[in-house]
Amino acid sequence: MTEIRTPRLLLRRWHDDDLAPMADINADPRVMRWIGDGSVRGLDHTARAIEQWEEEWDEEGFGLFAVELLASGELAGFTGLSVPGFLPQVLPAVAISWRLGSQFWGQGYASEAAHATLEFALQDRGLDRVISISRVGDDASGNVVRKLGMSLERETVHPVHGWPLRVHTIDLTEFQA
């Protein structure tokens, strides 16, 4: 069972009870603003997504962590690792991503979870590097990327939708600097 504790958070695999709170997060247009075409997702979509995230954990040995607040046990959202198959030009690669309910923004939770996720990826799993792919304009993600110490690797566009994207990267030496 892969679990990580940070001062305020538990990063863990997914439970059945996570479906309703994660579906609420995916149903919020503010949360989905920079994800895909910005459309909100329903309960069925979220259920399939959680199943797929769990399969990725089993297949890859890494995946998206459910992020739980230690103080209250609430699900805040996710942070974790996945293979960014939608952007073939960066492959092979593993990307970090994050999505929190809007009531959990502005409290440093995303950065705390992302830092622990990088440590997991680069130290525990021994990945050579981790990238992040963010939409130009998604300043909240850009702020997290900056605080993690990731460097800009390239600017490109989404191969299907044409959205401008920034690819940042970090390796273990840079992470420990």
Ligand X SMILES: CC(C)(COP(=O)(O)OP(=O)(O)OC[C@H]1O[C@@H](n2cnc3c(N)ncnc32)[C@H](O)[C@@H]1OP(=O)(O)O)[C@@H](O)C(=O)NCCC(=O)NCCS
Q: Other C-beta atoms within 10 Å of 20: how many?
A: 11
Nearer to ligand X, 126 or 164 (CB): 164
By CB under 6 A, is residue 100 in contact with ligand X? yes
Q: What is the DSSP letter of 90?
A: G
Q: Which of 6, 82, 111, 156 binds ligand X (CB under 6 A)?
A: 111
CA distance 97 to 82: 8
* Maximum alpha-carbon separation in the chain: 43
Q: Give the interface segment with ligand X, choosing from 51-59, 65-73, 83-91, 101-109 (CB under 6 A).
A: 101-109
Nearest to 135, CA basis, from 37, 27, 63: 37
12 CB-contact burial (10 Å; exposed 0-12 / middle 13-18 / buried 19+): middle
By CB under 6 A, is residue 164 in contact with ligand X? no
Smallest distance, ligand X to C-beta of residue 101, A: 8
Residue 45 β-bridge partners = none
Q: Give the interface segment with ligand X, choosing from 50-58, 59-67, 99-107, 157-165 (CB under 6 A).
A: 99-107
Quick note: the x/- pattern for ligand X over 20-59, rule CB under 6 A, is -----------x--xx------------------------
Smallest distance, ligand X to C-beta of residue 8, A: 8
- Judge whether 121 and 113 are in contact, CB under 8 Å: no
For residue 92, whether the previous peptide bond is cis, meaning omega lies within 30 degrees of 0, is yes
Smallest distance, ligand X to C-beta of residue 16, A: 23
Contact set with ligand X (CB under 6 A): 31, 34-35, 97-100, 105-111, 138, 140-141, 143-144, 147
